[in-house]
Chain A
Amino acid sequence: MSAPTISVVDLSKFYGEVLGVNRVTVEIPPGLTGLVGPNGSGKSTLMHLLCGLLRPSRGSISVLGVPPDRPEELFRLLGYCTQYDSFPAGATAIGFLVHTLTLHGFDRAAAERRAHEVVERVGLADAARRRIAGYSKGMRQRIKLAQAICHEPRVLVLDEPLNGLDPMGRAEMIDLFKGLAREGRHVIVSSHILNELDLISDGVIMIHGGSVVAEGSIRAVRGEITTQPLQVLVRCDRPQTVAAHAFSLDHVVEARIVDGGAGLLLRTTDASRFFPDLGRIILSTGVEVETVTPADENVHAVYDYLIGDGGGVR
């Protein structure tokens, strides 16, 4: 029997005549999944639909077997950190979390104990009894995360969770997400900071104009983009020599010295022939190779190819 997943089938949402998401079908496995798309592409709408804050116009959603219109079951499994930067008037971090946890069914003492553990976990212990209204943007972001994870959900949906955090805070939160994903939870993160998503995501869902344009691991998604030559960065002691030999290959369409002569960027239309050919060049020339890495097997490049201006690595 396969592990329960998050399943979205033929999902559409219309706001009157305005399209939110259109016929989205995705299966989201455990691990960290990045939800990528430009502003207004439908990322937040999809997240709202997953969490039952919006009702689908068509299609269905199942979160580990639970439909989002049953909040009493859904939010035992799921925590949602929304992009809304607002809180109940007058709330303190601890008061806010204790209230949330008592609604989860914890008695007051257990809720307080857990609330303190969670504020510690998101790095807000020192400000836990202060009013949230006086928090910085980064602190508010942390308390929203605390609200999402306080009941230890199996599914976390995080809408732009890194917004407003300083670099240190982002690193801490990324560690937290990675840790949660390693525990086998589903962690779905939307972010416009593609480099950071690239570092942490096991897979991506790319959404544009309300439709999913690609989903899966970055490598698999990149592999399916056959219209864009694969870019490979070779770091070696004599990049000019490799470049000279690479030009003789009919599938290599570009060879460019980069990084001040320390590397060579090659673009090929045939990845299956490229790597054996590159191996032969290296052996025949005796070049000392430091690394050979795909230069556009990352969220940023894939995003550019599918949604942006198609530039990849420049």
Chain B
Amino acid sequence: MSAAPDRGWPLWRRQVAVLARQEVGRSLISRRSLAPYLLIAMPVGIALIRALFMSESQRASVGHTTTELAQIFHFFILRFIVFFAVAQVFVRLVRGEILERSFHYHLLVPVRREVLAVGKYLGGLATAAAILGIGVTATVLLAYSPHGAAGLDHLLSRRGLTELGAYLAVTVLASAAYGALFLLAGLFFRNPMVPAVLFLGWEIATPFLPGLLKLLSVVHYLGSLEPVPVSQGPFALIAQPVPPLIAVLALLAIAAALVAVAARAMRRLEITYSTE
């Protein structure tokens, strides 16, 4: 038998990289990513139509676009587009391959199941972040495009770049937290979209929940990181915003905890395709 060159951490790191790279290679440009691309094309399309048909008076106000963009991002992109696009990417990581009856190949190699879970998760995260990041960037650029030089000045200003950076960071963190949740759902549920819709309901209800329950929601932390505050409506229960650093750490902790549970579930995973 030939000895493999690495063992322990160096091998695990390499295996995580191989698994993540494979996932990105398979997902980024393939039919299986059609749904996330179509989803993120929606806000891009809306931003394009808005740019084409914006009235002259609105073209004069960059501030108006900043406010509108914040609302589009929060209520449409984050709540629905990112949520369902991430669901599409991460549910396929395990459940999709079980349905294709090809998941067992991941279990026939000398890879710890925990390494498999982390590699797949990071591959899904890179895929989701790339697809959604490009879409969010395009949406922001198109949103400011009708303003001509003033829009460009805003985008290239410290404030504009911070705004774009914050939207991208929120998108990536949302992908990280929701992705971990959907990876886990894919391990436990034959149809993970059922728990996904239930969780979406919880997320939508977050503004109306008391402060303590808001802490159990992902969107509560994401909202604290958005660059422009958005009104949650007259019936929302106002809570203290979470400091950005705490919000980031909380989101990363949620993601890490869910991936850890997924890794544990992966250890107990059995291949019984006939029952799927």
Which A residues have a C-beta under 8 Å from some C-beta of B? 15, 48, 51-55, 69, 71-77, 79-80, 82, 84, 86-90, 99-100, 102-107, 110, 114, 147-148, 151-154
Contacts and interface: CB of A to CB of B under 8 A. Distances in A.
Contacts of A152: 1-2
Interface size class of B (residues with CB under 8 A): 35 or more
Contacts of A107: 5
A151 B1 contact: yes
B100 interface: yes
B102 interface: yes
B110 A72 contact: yes
A73 B30 CA distance: 34
A94 B272 CA distance: 27
Contacts of B109: 71, 75, 100, 103-104
Contacts of A105: 4-7, 11, 14-15, 110
A147 B105 CA distance: 9
B2 A84 contact: no
Given A72-B115, A88-B26, 4 more contacts: A53-B271, A76-B4, A148-B108, A152-B2
Contacts of B102: 84, 86-89
Ranked 4 nearest A-B pairs via Cβ: A105-B4, A86-B101, A75-B110, A53-B271
A53 B270 contact: yes
A299 to B, nearest CB: 27
B19 interface: yes
A104 B110 contact: yes
Interface string B105-134: 101111111010000000000000000000
A75 B1 CA distance: 12
Nearest to B116: A71
Given A54-B272, A84-B273, A90 B110 contact: no
A147 B106 CA distance: 12
Nearest to B275: A15
Nearest to A15: B272
B101 to A, nearest CB: 4
B104 interface: yes
Contact of B110 (A15, A76, A87): A76
Nearest to A144: B105
The listed residue with most A CB atoms (<10 A of its CB), out of B104, B108, B113, is: B108
A76 B1 contact: yes
A35 to B, nearest CB: 18
Contacts of B4: 76, 104-106, 151
Contact of B108 (A51, A55, A110): A51
Interface string B235-276: 000000000000000000000000000000001101111010
Contacts of B268: 55
Contacts of B108: 51, 53, 75, 79-80, 82, 100, 147-148
A52 B270 CA distance: 8
A51 B102 CA distance: 16
Contacts of A151: 1-2, 4
A100 B15 CA distance: 10
29 contacts: A15-B272, A53-B104, A53-B108, A54-B270, A72-B110, A72-B112, A72-B115, A75-B109, A76-B110, A84-B102, A84-B104, A86-B101, A88-B100, A89-B26, A89-B32, A100-B109, A102-B14, A104-B4, A104-B109, A105-B4, A105-B7, A105-B14, A105-B110, A106-B4, A110-B5, A147-B108, A151-B1, A151-B4, A153-B1
